[in-house]
Amino acid sequence: MKLLNGIEKLFKSFLPTPFTIAILITIVTFILAFTLTDSDVGSGERGMELVGYWYNGLWKDSMLVFAVQMMLMLVLGHAVALTKPVDYVMRAATHFCKSTASAAFTVTLLTILVSLFNWGLGLIFGAILARKVGEHAYKNGISLNYALIGAAGYSGLMVWHGGISGSAPIKAAESGHIASLMEGILPAEQIAELPNAIPFSETVFGMMNIVVMLALIVCVPLFMFWLGKRSQVSLELPKVIGENEEKNASDDQQKLDVSPWFSRIIGGLIFAYALYVAVHAMYEGRDFIKPNFINFTLLGMALVLHSNVDGFLKAIDQAIRGAAGILVQFPLYFGIMGLMVGSGLIHVFSDFFVSISSEASFPIYSFMSAGIVNVFVPSGGGQWGVQGPIIIQSALELGVSLPKSIMALAYGDQLTNMLQPFWALPLLGITGLKAKSILPYTLAMMLVGGTIYLLALLIF
């Protein structure tokens, strides 16, 4: 515990904001690209060329579409989490939170379970649950390590990529995606031999991942309980705790805005069509779990579960603030991605691990390289786009299972979210905590999760 307290003091003293971290990572990436990659042009021209890669990455159309999809997933998931039925579940859960240890266990367990269904909903659910636990402690005079509870609410980002909303498994399950990803990399005859798709039954619902997820569901909450027993507690909570964010209805609301039937009928129709799409796709053996489908389903759920359109819009207004940081920082990370891909730096990082790999060690090195790349590019979908081809090509050359290699990438990507504070922005806004307060505890969770992932990749 002395080591953990020392780390906490270090972070509180020196860790800057996530936006500043993004700028610093951009500078470091530029320096690495300039020094580690080859070029036939002079230094001045090379520098301008690298800036061009960064600039193009900032405003890449497909990535901006992805950014809006992710923001909607966060905002709509947040809106669902603000509904009365979900609020009832959260308030019921707070009755089990009589101490830091019990609160940490409860928040971690529920957050992981929800995040395996959807990462955006899990992130917001965990954040709001952590805040409600803080409010419960505030009202009842319970001594609480609120930073530890906030870290527990972020635990879902360490498991999401192994769930049904994981970017790499979703894309690999799309018909023809593997072949299109490898165009220009492999010869045509080798592309023709690639599987048309890698189904969820071999990745997310494969035996290795099921065992891993069960181990996480059991071990991580128990570890947080143990940590809560040994952590320092305090009644000092952020000012946001205890504030009332409810707003009165405006006088000019129309009847349809406050009608419970209107929102439920519209939301029910949306949700019914989403169900139709899912059933029809499953009947035809097609994948349907994609960002647009998830957002469509969340929209229907939010309209059904809120009392009326006015309540839904108030929830959206409250939720959109949590996505403000993402709106500003996402382009910076897209620029980093463009810089790494354009310069070839991504190949330098990944190829190093491949060059020292064997059939047995390749999944471990893929896991490690994915974790490193995620620090620079904290986007599962974006990381799959730039690192996926390297993983697939290397796996084919070494004779390693493609599903296992894909999950190794997924595990590495999600693990270092506990180190990379980017996705914690909504949670920090909701809970009123600072990144430097929760990071010592997320790093401790990272050690537990990393041990489980490494053991699975070695055994299976």
Please tell me which residue, 17 or 79, carries the higher pLDDT value: 79
Residue with tokens 């009832």: 88
SS3 of 187, please? coil
Tell me the average pLDDT of the chain: 83
Structure tokens at 31: 């320096």
Question: Cβ(337)–Cβ(377) under 8 Å?
Answer: yes
Contacts of 100 (CB under 8 A, 6+ apart): 143, 144, 145, 148, 149, 228, 229, 231, 233
From the list 76, 33, 66, the residue with the least C-alpha distance to 334 is 66
Alpha carbons 278 and 287: distance in angstroms, whole number = 8
Structure tokens at 246: 């409810």
Question: Cβ(144)–Cβ(107) under 8 Å?
Answer: no
**pLDDT tens-digit profile of 29-55?**
899 999 988 887 778 888 899 999 999
Instruction: Please give the average per-residue pLDDT across 389-399, as a whole number.
Output: 85
For residue 234, the model assigns a pLDDT of 59
- Residue 183's φ and ψ, nearest 5 degrees, are -65, 135
SS3 of 90, please? helix
End-to-end CA distance of the chain: 33
Bridge partners of residue 186, in order along the sequence: 183
Contacts of 110 (CB under 8 A, 6+ apart): 93, 125, 126, 129
Alpha carbons 171 and 167: distance in angstroms, whole number = 6
**pLDDT tens-digit profile of 236-272?**
566 555 554 544 444 555 676 778 888 889 999 998 9
Structure tokens at 115: 């995040």
Cβ-count burial 357-395 (b if 16+ within 10 Å, e if not): beeeebbbbbbbbbbebbebbbbbbbbbbbbbbbbbebb
Q: What percent of the chain has pLDDT over 70?
A: 87
Alpha carbons 374 and 25: distance in angstroms, whole number = 12
Residue with tokens 């497909």: 62
Task: Give me the sign of the Cα torsion angle 62, 65, 67, 70.
Answer: negative
What is the gyration radius of the CA atoms in the chain, in angstroms?
Answer: 22
**pLDDT tens-digit profile of 76-119?**
887 887 888 888 888 889 888 889 999 999 999 999 999 998 78
Instruction: Please give the average per-residue pLDDT across 169-191, as a whole number.
Output: 80
Residue with tokens 């922005």: 425
Alpha carbons 85 and 101: distance in angstroms, whole number = 26
Q: What angle do CA 373, 377, 383 make, to 5 degrees?
A: 75
For residue 14, the model assigns a pLDDT of 57
Confidence of residue 130 (pLDDT cuts 50, 70, 90): very high
Structure tokens at 321: 């603030």
Number of H helices, E strands in the chain: 23, 0
Question: Cβ(138)–Cβ(237) under 8 Å?
Answer: yes
For residue 450, the model assigns a pLDDT of 96
For residue 236, the model assigns a pLDDT of 56
From the list 77, 109, 79, the residue with the least C-alpha distance to 93 is 109
For residue 263, the model assigns a pLDDT of 87
Alpha carbons 108 and 149: distance in angstroms, whole number = 8
Comparing 110-114, 207-211, 272-276, 336-340, the range with the smallest average pLDDT is 336-340
Comparing 132-141, 197-206, 234-243, the range with the smallest average pLDDT is 234-243
Q: Which amino acid is at 77?
A: G
Please tell me which residue, 3 or 263, carries the higher pLDDT value: 263
The whole-model pTM stands at 0.78
Check pLDDT > 90 for residue 426: no
- What is the domain partition of the chain in residue ranges? 2-239+260-459
